[in-house]
């Protein structure tokens, strides 16, 4: 069975409000095992990057202007995901909406929603009432996400592949363990990693400055405050 763990980054929340894809990352699994094959592509959105989105993923206009537009990479992307592979996506409705909008604008067939397996829904069923963000699930499963200072489609797909395998039942599905990744306290619990190091994510081709990291942290703090205010006023 072939599955594709998939994530995207975008300029905003709604493709029908002039927002576009800027990054796609995919990890191939065969029978729940990572093969080392992956697809990764930055995309020129042909529009300015809003600061709110930049603060999340750090992909700015200067970097993206030299990347191909979606029309130039669509066929390669479709070839990688194939016609019937299951697409494992965290909050699938969001990513599928953007992918299908981009395909629609090129008069290409849409990807059927029934191909998408939503790991948010899986996690909610497994851990009702608990946080199910990617970071929260990484903490729950002791998956090392220390490189995730900013969102990134391939990095997040890499982490999601580990989370997905844990949601399926963990090590009996073939997770390999890095014997050198011990807990900070020296305990016996190891942090789980995906396959051999040579198959893992390469460094991002652009450098995030201290100012950008500070802006990202400030953005997250603002969102937390907004969520707390909404919760308080809904009570």
Which one of the listed residues 40, 151, 173, 216 is annotated catalytic? Answer: 151
Q: Say what the pLDDT of residue 186 is.
A: 39
* Cβ neighbours of residue 190 closer than 8 Å, sequence gap 6 or more: 142, 177, 178, 179, 181, 182, 183
Query: Tens digit of pLDDT for each residue in 94-139?
Result: 999 999 999 999 999 999 999 999 999 999 999 999 999 999 999 9
Does residue 151 have an active-site annotation?
yes
Query: Tens digit of pLDDT for each residue in 55-102?
Result: 999 999 999 999 999 999 999 999 999 999 999 999 999 999 999 999
Q: Angle at the Cα of 41 (from 77 to 221), degrees rounded to 5?
A: 120
Cα 224 from Cα 12, distance rounded (Å)? 18
Average of per-residue pLDDT across 22-30? 97
Q: Say what the pLDDT of residue 147 is.
A: 74
Mean of per-residue pLDDT scores for the chain? 82
Q: Say what the pLDDT of residue 18 is.
A: 95
Report the share of the chain in percent with pLDDT over 90.
67
Query: Tens digit of pLDDT for each residue in 1-10?
Result: 999 999 999 9
pLDDT band at residue 158 using 50, 70 and 90 as cut-offs: very high
């Amino acid at each position: 069975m072939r599955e594709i763990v998939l994530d995207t980054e975008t300029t905003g929340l709604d493709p029908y409000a002039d927002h576009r894809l800027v990054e796609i990352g995919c990890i191939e699994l065969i029978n729940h095992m990572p093969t080392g094959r992956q697809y990764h592509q930055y995309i020129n959105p042909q529009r300015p990057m809003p600061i709110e989105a930049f603060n999340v993923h750090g992909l700015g206009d200067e970097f993206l202007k030299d990347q191909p537009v979606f029309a130039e990479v669509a066929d390669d992307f479709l070839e990688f995901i194939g016609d019937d592979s299951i697409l494992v996506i965290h909050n699938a409705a969001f990513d599928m909406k953007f992918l299908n909008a981009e395909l629609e604008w090129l008069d290409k067939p849409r990807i059927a929603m029934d191909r998408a397996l939503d790991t948010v829904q899986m996690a909610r069923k497994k851990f009702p009432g608990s946080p199910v963000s990617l970071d929260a699930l990484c903490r729950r499963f002791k998956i090392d996400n220390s490189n995730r200072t900013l969102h990134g489609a391939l990095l997040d797909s890499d982490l999601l592949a580990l989370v997905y395998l844990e949601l399926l039942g963990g090590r009996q599905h073939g997770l390999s363990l890095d014997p050198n990744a011990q807990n900070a306290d020296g305990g016996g619990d190891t942090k789980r990693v995906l396959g051999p190091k040579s198959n893992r994510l390469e460094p991002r081709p652009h450098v995030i400055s201290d100012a950008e990291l500070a802006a990202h942290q400030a953005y997250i703090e603002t969102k937390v405050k907004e969520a707390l205010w909404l919760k308080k006023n809904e009570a």
